[in-house]
Amino acid sequence: MNNLIIGTLFALCAAALNASIGVISKLLMHSGLNPQDIAFLKTIIAFFFLSVFLFKVPVSQKIAFISSTPSKLSVFAQIAICAFLGIFSLFFFETIAYNHGAAANVV
């Protein structure tokens, strides 16, 4: 497939998921989940999907990339930790905001 088509499909998927996250969060809150649980659930789902994409990269390519400079592994670990905490923080505060306003205003 052409890179332009793949990029367009990813952009459309991102837009659809971003548009539906508020509605899904509101439904989960009405079912009795608290905002912390919803934020953690969204973070775990995002981690799962990103891991699937990571595992699709051939092992030889990953080893060549990491072994080219030894310090990259610690940088990757630091980025992974910061990204996980950043994504959780974003989802946490966004989900809390759904309690205080309309989903359309929060997103």
Give the pLDDT confidence of 72-104 residue by residue, as tens digits. 657 677 778 888 888 888 888 888 888 887 766
Under 8 Å between Cβ of 54 and 48: no
- Global pTM? 0.63
| Tens digit of each residue's pLDDT (9 = 90 or more) over 21-80 | 888 888 888 899 988 888 888 888 888 887 887 778 787 777 776 666 666 657 677 778
> How does DSSP classify residue 31?
T
Residues 38 and 1: their CA atoms lie apart, in Å, by: 36
